[in-house]
């Protein structure tokens, strides 16, 4: 993604995942926003957005945070919401091991309570340690956790796979977590 698009992408993330009301936008129950309404609301709030720019952001966002409906008239964030939306995700059997990146300062709490959704709808997990490391680094000194997702799934805990290949679950109890790496 071009560097100058990053602020607009962050704006879209905030609006489509957390605060659509800040620009007067309405999302439906599945998190979809009308594209023309989004563009109009953004422009009324001094964010210069048009269809071509939105198309470029959706196409070039490395994390594939946004998706269009089949007819391209609606847009939504693929995951990471703090507002209640039903992404209509199906339960899927996960790989046997998944990873979660966090900051080392959170480890005592995770040992006690496991991984919790906090302000989001799901706990986010990745299939590789490198992605987990990048996520953890955003929050401080990184800590990579290995999740025994095969055992969780066998024990009846549901997993979903978002449109942008992030693994989602409601929580990860501490008994399924071990420290994978403590770089730095």
Do the Cβ atoms of 88 and 115 come closer than 8 Å? Answer: no
Q: Which two tokens stand for residue 18?
A: 């957390």
Q: Which of 29-43, 60-74, 126-140 has the highest mean pLDDT?
A: 29-43
Residue 183: per-residue pLDDT: 47
Instruction: Using the predicted structure, report yes or no on whether residue 184 has a pLDDT greater than 80.
Output: no
1-10 CB contacts, 8 Å cutoff, 24+ apart: 1/56, 1/57, 1/60, 1/61, 1/62, 2/56, 2/60, 5/53, 5/56, 5/57, 5/60, 8/47, 8/49, 8/53, 8/57, 9/57, 9/61, 9/65
Query: pLDDT tens-digit profile of 29-41?
Result: 999 999 999 999 9
Mean pLDDT along residues 51-66: 93
Instruction: Using the predicted structure, report yes or no on whether residue 12 has a pLDDT greater than 60.
Output: yes
Band of pLDDT at residue 80, cut at 50, 70 and 90: confident
Q: What is the CATH number of domain 98-181?
A: 3.20.170.30
pTM here?
Answer: 0.74
Residue 103: per-residue pLDDT: 94
Pick the CATH number of 3-77 from 3.20.20.30, 3.30.465.10, 2.40.37.10, 1.10.10.970: 1.10.10.970
Domain residue limits, the chain: 3-77, 98-181
């Amino acid at each position: 993604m071009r560097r100058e698009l990053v602020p607009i992408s962050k704006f879209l993330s905030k609006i489509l995942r957390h605060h659509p009301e800040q620009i007067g936008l309405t999302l439906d129950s599945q998190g979809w926003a009308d594209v023309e309404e989004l563009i109009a609301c953004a422009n009324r709030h001094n964010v210069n957005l048009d269809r071509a720019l939105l198309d470029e952001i959706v196409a070039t966002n490395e994390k594939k945070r946004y998706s269009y409906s089949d007819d391209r008239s609606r847009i939504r964030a693929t995951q990471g919401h703090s507002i209640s939306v039903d992404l209509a995700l199906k339960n899927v059997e996960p790989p046997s091991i998944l990873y979660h990146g966090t900051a080392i300062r959170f480890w005592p709490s995770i040992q006690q309570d496991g991984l919790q959704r906090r302000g989001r709808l799901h706990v986010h997990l990745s299939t590789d340690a490198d992605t987990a490391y990048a996520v953890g680094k955003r929050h401080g000194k990184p800590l990579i956790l290995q999740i025994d997702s095969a055992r969780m799934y066998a024990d009846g805990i549901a997993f979903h796979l978002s449109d942008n290949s992030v693994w989602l679950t409601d929580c990860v109890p501490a008994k399924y977590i071990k420290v994978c790496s403590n770089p730095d």
